[in-house]
Amino acid sequence: MQLSERHQEYWRKNLRLTAVLLAIWFVVTFVVIYFAPQLNEIVIMGFPFAFYMAAQGSLIIYVLVIWFYAHRMN
């Protein structure tokens, strides 16, 4: 089944958006934890940055990623 040019453009943009959001998810989930000892030198609201990201920051970013994807798909 051939897709129209419009459908191809939609899927190209959808895959690009998905790749970018998955890259953000990967960085927040794995890269922040990998560099936790270095990031702990940064203090946010009295907490080391890696601790803050594990406790609150990553959850906020995940919700924003989901919201952004849902917003763009509408």
The one-letter amino acid code at 46 reads: G
Neighbours of 32 (CB within 10 A): 18
pLDDT band for 2, please (50, 70, 90 cuts): confident
What pLDDT digit, counting tens, does each position of 23-43 carry?
999 999 999 999 999 999 999
Domain count, the chain: 1
Residue 37's domain comprises 5-73
For residues 50 and 38, the answer to whether their CB atoms sit within 8 Å is no
Q: For 1-74, where are the alpha helices, taking DSSP H only?
A: 5-26, 32-34, 36-39, 49-52, 58-73
Q: What is the pTM of this model?
A: 0.82
For residues 61-68, give the mean pLDDT.
98
Separation between Cα atoms, residue 42 and residue 50, nearest integer Å: 8
